[in-house]
Amino acid sequence: MYASVKSAGVRGLSAELVTVEVDLSSGLPRFDLVGLPNSAVSESKERVRSAVRNCGFQFPISRITVNLAPADFRKEGPIYDLPIFTAMMLADHQIISGQKTLERKLDELRSAVFLGELSLRGDVRRVRGVLPMLICAREKGMKQAFIPAGNAKEATAVCDAMDVYPVHTVKELLAHLRGEKLIEPVEPVPFDVLVQKNARADAPDFSEVIGQREARRALEIAAAGGHNVLLVGPPGAGKSMLAKRLPGILPEMTYDEALETTNIYSVGGLLPEDLPLMVERPFRAPHHTATLAAMAGGGAQASPGEVTLAHNGVLFLDETPHFARPVLEALRQPLEDRCITIARNRATVTYPGNIQLIGAMNPCPCGYYGVPYTENGRVCSCSLQDIRRYADKLSGPFLDRIDIHVRVRPVPERLLLEAARSECSADIRARVVAARDRQKARFEGSGTTCNAGMTRTQLLEYCALDDACRDALLVAHEKHQFSARSNDKILKVARTIADLAGSEPIELPHLLEAIQLHAMDAYLDP
């Protein structure tokens, strides 16, 4: 007997429907699985066999052939356990009886998708990548989906156009398909409700930062325009503390951004079981020992790396010079193109990488260059050669992609003892959102979302300078020898400063502040 059901598979961040066909024929008992499966899929035979027997069902005593179509699409992971089990039970008439009834049942399930891993006792276990597969199924016109109960939360964002049934065990699934006891479908939850429900009340706040007026201002500008920042200062000055508070002043994610980010975490298997949608912007802070594959993505399956996991959020590199040179150089493409392409012999995948990079570093190996005196009496003991060697760990092309360079000064003891509270993140965020709203109206319909992503044409249109500003920029070019990319970065930051000030033209104070923020790389030249 023959039966087939629909499933799905993931390639990169996109999914494709897979047809699971089962044929039961006469002959010596045998279980063959074809259709370009990897080892995890091939092992489905043993999991399905044990689940059938341990749940009290009869395992077919016949030759079993399972085909996963299309055959040229590589199948990975244990997600095909549940569709193989379902198709086998249908073909063996253990769900229904009679040929006509089988044809009618197959016709009913023609628009249904089955996903899930089976335990040996018949439990349906949580799998990764359910969200992109459900999105694909919805786009292909599927009306029903049977998924593990552990993945039910992430289905709430896409179950408005299809019935999604959370399955705990195969017994529960068969009872539903037989009409004996129906499974309640997942209820859709509006996006604004998800935002309110999952908002972090304990997120780090700028009110906890003492002093650091220049650094706070730089991060506000960065948040308002989506600019990259490099924080330079001695140990304990507050670089990491400042960076961790940047997501708290960024605008809330839109539904499309949240769905895109959740998609990435679903494929990576990093989405918490109780979190239906990523509504908070991600903050990724890999250790400086991270490998190239961990940062950019890779491996046999070309999995997403830290750049992709930080999509629509912040990638924080603490102790930036200690990262391997190839790892930092790999960031050059996503910082420019907002995506990263992973090429492997089995697949070439392009992942999104719209990140805001925040780097933090000491000014020298000992960390105290430029600090005349510290509270413990330490002063810089590095030679000029040591300082230059340390600074050269960051290449010119990498630094050229950083919009804002800012010195983080040690906080005076007087301010530390006073412990006065600073402006809170909510107030800063209000100004950032207002500036982003101006940019949204300016770039409407163009695909550009913030000033950092302006094209050359948009730069010429929205960053026009008067004579005084042009003269000041020429003087800065003569002094600092800015590259063409640096020139564009300065204009984009100046545009953001003007937006924060509510000014349509870029005025001289806006441009001078942008020049100062970009020219802070002077610390690299002792």
pLDDT per residue as tens digits for the range 235-255: 888 999 999 999 999 999 999
Average pLDDT estimate for 431-455: 93
pLDDT tens digits, one per residue of 12-65: 888 999 999 999 998 888 999 999 998 889 999 999 999 999 999 999 989 999
The pLDDT of residue 159: 81
**Cβ-contact 194, 276 below 8 angstroms:** yes
**pLDDT score of 94 more than 80:** yes
Q: Which phi and psi angles does 501 have, rounded to 5°?
A: -85, -5
Across 280-289, 404-413, 415-424, least confident range: 415-424
pLDDT tens, position by position, 272-298: 888 888 889 999 999 999 999 999 988
pLDDT at 434 over 60: yes
Q: Are the beta carbons of 205 and 164 closer than 8 angstroms?
A: no
Residue 113: its pLDDT value, please? 96
Q: How far apart are CA 341 and CA 350, in angstroms?
A: 4
Parallel, antiparallel, or unpaired for β 314-318 and 356-361?
A: parallel
Percent of the chain with pLDDT over 90: 64
Residue 375 has what pLDDT? 47
> Using 50, 70 and 90 to split pLDDT, how confident is the model at 303?
confident
Q: Which two structure tokens, joined as six digits, stand for 258?
A: 């949240």
| pLDDT of 522 | 46
Angle, CA of 422, 426 and 428, to the nearest 5°: 70
Residue whose C-alpha is closest to residue 251's, from 284, 213, 279, 217: 279
Question: Would you call 97 exposed, middle or buried from its count of C-beta atoms within 10 A (0-12, 13-18, 19+)?
Answer: exposed
What's the distance, CA 464 to chain centroid?
35
The model's confidence at residue 328, banded by pLDDT at 50, 70 and 90, is: very high
The DSSP 8-state label assigned to residue 195 in this structure reads H
- Mean pLDDT for 197-203 is 69
Higher pLDDT, 300 or 386: 386
- pLDDT given at position 525: 45
Closest among 249, 280, 244 to 262, alpha carbons compared: 280
Burial annotation 372-404 (CB, 10 A radius, 16+ → b, else e): eeeeeeeebebeeebbeebbeebeeebbbbbbb
Check: CB of residue 265 under 8 Å from CB of residue 271: yes
Tell me phi and psi for residue 164, to 5 degrees.
Answer: -110, 120
Rounded mean pLDDT, 254-271: 91
Average pLDDT over residues 105-124: 93
Instruction: Please give the average per-residue pLDDT across 442-467, as a whole number.
Output: 92
Interatomic CA distance for residues 43 and 50, integer angstroms: 11
State how far the Cα of 7 lies from the Cα of 84, in Å rounded to an integer: 9
Model pLDDT for residues 125-137, shown as the tens digit of each residue: 999 999 999 999 9
- Asked if pLDDT for residue 220 goes beyond 50, the answer is yes
- Mean of pLDDT over the chain: 90
Of 261, 137, 121, residue with least CA distance to 198: 261
Give me the pLDDT at residue 480, please.
87
**CA distance linking residue 347 with residue 390, whole number of Å:** 38
Residue in the structure block whose two tokens are 């065990």: 169
Q: What is the structure's pLDDT at 97?
A: 67
Q: Return the pLDDT at 201.
A: 64
Sequence length of the chain is 526
Q: What is the pLDDT, as a whole number, of residue 98?
A: 67
Q: Please tell me the distance from the alpha carbon of residue 97 to that of residue 286, in angstroms, as a whole number.
A: 56
- The closest of 38, 32, 28, 30 to 79, measured between CA atoms, is 38
Q: Flag whether pLDDT at 270 surpasses 80.
A: yes
Other Cβ atoms less than 10 A from the Cβ of 185: the count is: 16
How confident is the model over 330-376, as pLDDT tens digits? 999 999 999 998 887 777 889 999 999 999 999 889 888 877 655 44
> Is residue 526 pLDDT above 70, yes or no?
no
Span 402-425, mean pLDDT?
A: 82
